[in-house]
Amino acid sequence: MRMRPTLTWTPPAGLRPGTADPEPVADALRGGDVLVLSGAGMSTESGIPDYRGKGGSLSRHTPMTYQEFTASARARRRYWARSHLGWRTFGRALPNAGHRAVAAFGRGGLLAGVITQNVDGLHQAAGSEGVVELHGSLERVVCLSCGAFEPRRDVARRLAEANSGFEPVAAALNPDGDADLTDGQVGDFRVVACERCAGILKPDVVFFGESVPPRRVEHCRELVGGARSLLVLGSSLTVMSGLRFVRQAARAGKPVLIVNNDPTRGDEHALARVALPLGPALTALADRLGVPLDDHAAT
């Protein structure tokens, strides 16, 4: 199934407001078998901006679509220049208190799994195991011709060697790992090819307008089916890739809880939306449930 590149969503009139009471989330966690679905808001406290929150990157930046990337060498040059620069900062980001709390819930046996829409690897860095990366990972690069994978650090090294002296100052970083650069700053940036077949390289992430791999979707559906409840953290649920799991849980009569400051496209299906900052809210929940955080994760 092909995702439509939905970038915006307007909350309808009459949508139930959020609450500052996290007790419904605490109740779900006490019951165990909670499936976490996290979005870009999960990583804002690590210095990675989200797409649609206050000051989100969509207010100044339109993500490149899969169709644009594959059709245009110029677009790929622009993408890789921006992504290469952004990776230096993105790759140094550390898990925040919210990531550590989710990992603690997992160690405490409260979770059925973690699905993340993020491509930053911060859940794993915090200690969560078996994380399903719905939209892939910036840690890997894939060849669109032969399917070979290459670690991002190796591609970054080759790009640095091919573009000696490339040190522009970016205006901002985006949640998909690239940096805001002008066409003048991109200049004649040189893109490297697959070392095996000289094919086109692309980060192993799902671009807007691209399909999430069907087997990955099916695995997520199975996780939803086996969970007792679904907990959405830091996602507007604007795109169908995440919203479909909320709808699946709701159809099955499973409680859906959302922790997100702003209204989401899934609010109508939720038992409650807790409008609190993720890090403090999840840390307080871990303390309330007697689940210790590992404050030394990935440091």
In the chain, where the domains are located: 23-288
Under-50 pLDDT residues of the chain: 1-5, 52, 55-60, 298-299
pLDDT digits (tens, 9 = 90+) for 93-124: 899 999 999 999 999 999 999 999 999 999 99
pLDDT at position 54, please?
53
Enumerate residues 6+ apart whose C-beta is below 8 A from 163: 81, 84, 189, 190
pLDDT at position 167, please?
82
CATH topology (fold) of 23-288: Rossmann fold (3.40.50)
Known binding positions for NAD(+): 39-59, 117-120, 234-236, 278
pLDDT at position 289, please?
96
127 torsion bin: left (phi>0), alpha (psi -120 to 50), beta (else): left
> What are the φ/ψ torsions at residue 143 (nearest 5 degrees)?
-85, 130
pLDDT at position 3, please?
40
Mean residue pLDDT of the chain comes to: 89
- How far is C-alpha 228 from the geometric centre of its chain's CA atoms? 23
pLDDT digits (tens, 9 = 90+) for 131-177: 999 999 999 999 999 999 999 999 999 999 999 988 876 656 666 66
Residues forming the active site: 135
pLDDT at position 184, please?
87
Tokens of 216: 């990955």
pLDDT at position 299, please?
45
pLDDT at position 10, please?
76
Could you tell me if 22 and 281 are in contact, meaning their C-beta atoms sit under 8 angstroms apart?
yes
User: Which residues are paired to 258 by β-bridges?
Assistant: 232, 273
Give the sheet arrangement for strand 256-259, strand by strand.
132-133, 111-116, 34-38, 229-233, 256-259, 272-274
pLDDT at position 186, please?
86
CA–CA gap between residue 188 and residue 78 (Å, rounded): 9
Known binding positions for Zn(2+): 143, 146, 194, 197
pLDDT at position 91, please?
76
